[in-house]
């Protein structure tokens, strides 16, 4: 299951994790976000030992969302060693996200 990320736990769960993190920035009212949700959950399960996969509700957590300049939803950020190494905007097939995960795991 994907982690529920907040402004309060982001530093510890993502930036200090030492792992690649895949963060889905979403909102309850966002249709494409709901389409992407099952894919994010599946990736969280399949990569649970290698990657931190989390979801951040932008309406509930404006601090981190603003820090990373999230303007469109859904936006998936790939963060490694505290730096954004890749970004995907919009609902995309699982294969697109999985390819990016594989690129940054090696």
* Residues involved in catalysis: 30, 33
- C-alpha 75/C-alpha 50 separation (Å) is 21
β-strand pairing of 83-89 with 75-80:
antiparallel
Contact, 22 vs 101, CB < 8 A?
Answer: yes
Peptide bond into 19 cis (omega under 30): no
DSSP state of 26: E
Which residues are registered as beta bridge partners of 87? 77
């Amino acid at each position: 299951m994907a982690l529920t990320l907040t402004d309060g736990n982001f530093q510890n769960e993502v930036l200090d994790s030492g792992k690649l993190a895949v963060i889905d920035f979403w909102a309850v009212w966002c249709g494409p976000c709901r389409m992407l949700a099952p894919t994010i959950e599946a990736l969280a399960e399949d990569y649970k030992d290698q990657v931190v996969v989390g979801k951040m509700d932008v309406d509930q957590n404006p601090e981190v969302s603003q820090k990373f300049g999230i303007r469109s939803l859904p936006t998936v950020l790939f963060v490694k060693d505290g730096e954004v190494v890749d970004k995907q905007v919009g609902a995309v097939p699982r294969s697109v996200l999985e390819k990016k995960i594989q690129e940054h795991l090696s």
